[in-house]
Amino acid sequence: MNAHSDLFSLAGKTVLITGAAGHLGSAMTSALAAAGAHVLINSRHLDHAQREVDRLLNAGGIADAAVFNVTDPAAIDAFFRDRAGQPLHGLINNAYAGGAGTIESSDTSAYETAYAITVTAAHNLLKAALPSLRQAVQTSGDASVVNIASMYAMVSPDQRVYDSASASNPPYYGAAKAALLQWTRYAACEFGAHGIRVNAISPGPFPAQVVEDSNPRFTEKLRDRVPLGRTGSAEELGGPIVFLTSSASSFVNGANIVVDGGWTCW
For 26-45, the pLDDT digits (tens) are: 999 999 999 999 999 999 99
User: pLDDT tens across 41-58, in order?
Assistant: 999 999 999 999 999 999
Kindly name the residue from 96, 152, 172, 173 that is annotated as catalytic: 173
CA 70, CA 144: separation in Å to the nearest integer?
A: 19
**What value does the mean pLDDT take over residues 216-229?**
96
Report yes or no on 138 lying in a domain: yes
Q: CA distances (Å), 53 to each of 31, 57, 168, in order?
A: 13, 6, 33
Instruction: Tell me the HSE value of 71 on the side-chain side, using a 13 A CA sphere.
Output: 11
Domain count across the chain: 1
Residue 181 lies in domain: 3-260
Q: CA distances (Å), 61 to each of 29, 32, 35, 132, 203, in order?
A: 10, 9, 9, 22, 25
Looking at the predicted structure, is the pLDDT value of residue 199 above 80? Answer: yes
Provide, rounded to the nearest whole percent, the portion of the chain with pLDDT above 70: 98
Report yes or no on 265 lying in a domain: no
Residue 173 a catalytic site member: yes
Report yes or no on 124 lying in a domain: yes
Report yes or no on 164 lying in a domain: yes
Report yes or no on 256 lying in a domain: yes
pTM over 0.85: yes
**What value does the mean pLDDT take over residues 251-261?**
98
Q: Nearest-5° angle of CA 82, CA 190, CA 67?
A: 25
State the average pLDDT for the chain.
96
Closest alpha carbon to 4 in 243, 245, 201: 243
Looking at the predicted structure, is the pLDDT value of residue 230 above 70? Answer: yes
Report yes or no on 59 lying in a domain: yes
Report yes or no on 152 lying in a domain: yes
Report yes or no on 266 lying in a domain: no
Looking at the predicted structure, is the pLDDT value of residue 3 above 80? Answer: no
The domain spanning residue 160 has which CATH number? 3.40.50.720
